[in-house]
Amino acid sequence: MGKLILIPTPIGNLQDITLRALKTLEEVDLIAAEDTRHSLKLLNHFGIKKPMISYHQHNQKSAGEKILALIAEGKTVGLVTDAGMPGISDPGSEIVSQGIAAGIAIEVLPGPSAFILGLVLSGFDTREFHFIGFLERKKKARESQLTAIKAFPFTTVLYEAPHRIMQLLEELHFHMGSREVTLARELTKKFEQVIRGPLDEVIKKMKEQSPKGEFVVVIAGTPEAGPEESGISIKAELELEMASGYSKKEAIERVAGHRGIPKKEVYKEAIKINKTL
């Protein structure tokens, strides 16, 4: 049987690719890419020629089945995303889950991820943080997430597109007032920019420029209290954890751990979520 190898690629500066990543790209039998045209530019830059298959959000079921079938035949497939670590806010996590269920060998190479750079650049507490990626677009789920983030005592990291960044900042300001945030964009590129400060000041600075590039948004934890003391419900915190990609079982364990309460108490609220779906 072959192997699935997750190969991180630069998030901007091509010099950030590792020697191991280049060697692996040269040795795999096939490369599965989120956007084959985009990844082809990277391969051409380094003089690598390999057959490619498209694997993205809209074909992950059919393409995933094909990739797993090839691996079962003995092929080694390298998985790349447009930039950064496959599996972080992209469908790579789905094929890893499918691969584990199928019993195939999976390897992950170390490499860049934009949210880690943004988190470290923020200067906020990194001992415990919550990475969400893009917030839900549906209003009710989004409101639940924003309410929960407001109460989190730890740092939270989000992604946002340039055409939606002002909307997100206004929403954060509405829910959290002048909470400290850090915006980071064009990371590792020539025009890398980091904006730090209270939300009202950051909004003012952003109105003076035209947003370009995907943003990493880092939000400081509430200085006042954790979720239990701040009034956020167990149900709302569960919904945020599940919206962030955790299974119901994992969400129950995380919420119970945050609050220091028995899992059975959280489970009672989890049942209510089922009834409202």
- Going by C-alpha positions, the residue among 223, 258, 224, 225 that lies closest to residue 240 is 258
The token pair that represents 247 in the structure block = 């299974």
Q: Are 226 and 151 in contact (CB under 8 A)?
A: yes
Do 110 and 85 meet the contact criterion of CB atoms below 8 Å apart? no
Q: Give the whole-angstrom CA distance, residue 6 versus residue 84.
A: 10
Scan for tokens 């939300």, then name that residue: 199
Instruction: Give the Cα separation of 93 and 90 in Å (integer).
Output: 7
Specify the pTM.
0.79
Fold match flag (3-112 vs 115-232): no
From the CA atom positions of the chain, what is the Rg in Å? 20
* Top-level class of domain 3-112: alpha beta
One pLDDT digit (tens) per residue for the chain, 277 residues? 899 999 999 999 999 999 999 999 999 999 999 999 999 999 999 999 999 999 998 998 999 999 999 999 999 999 999 999 999 988 899 999 999 999 999 999 999 999 999 999 999 999 999 999 999 999 989 998 998 999 898 999 999 999 999 999 999 999 999 999 999 999 999 999 999 999 999 999 999 998 888 999 999 998 755 555 455 788 888 887 887 778 888 889 888 877 778 888 888 888 887 654 4
CATH topology of domain 115-232: 3.30.950
> CA angle at residue 139 from 168 to 130, to 5 degrees?
55
Domain definitions of the chain by residue range: 3-112, 115-232
